[in-house]
């Protein structure tokens, strides 16, 4: 039969293992969140570039139409 000390050591080991597993889960979640945020930034930057290009093309089209009418 385990002694009280052995029982406590086993309990501490189990708690440490649980803590390590939870810590790893938090790290994994944080990494996933950071990757998601970087992806959002990439998409946002691409959308801004596309929006600027649309504005340029719209301006070119407006100028071309104005030249035709003149």
* Prediction pTM value: 0.59
Containing H/E element for 7? helix 4-69
Question: Distance between CA 64 and CA 59 in Å, rounded?
Answer: 9
Confidence of residue 68 (pLDDT cuts 50, 70, 90): confident
At 67 the pLDDT is 82
- 16-63 tens-digit pLDDT: 999 999 999 999 999 999 999 999 999 999 999 999 999 999 999 999
Contact 50/58 with Cβ under 8 angstroms?
A: no
């Amino acid at each position: 039969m385990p002694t009280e000390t052995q029982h406590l050591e086993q309990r501490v080991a189990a708690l440490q293992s649980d803590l390590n597993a939870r810590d790893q889960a938090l790290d994994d979640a944080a990494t996933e969140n950071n990757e998601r945020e970087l992806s959002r930034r990439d998409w946002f930057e691409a959308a801004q570039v596309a929006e600027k290009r649309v504005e340029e093309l719209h301006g070119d089209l407006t100028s071309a139409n104005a030249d035709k009418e003149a």
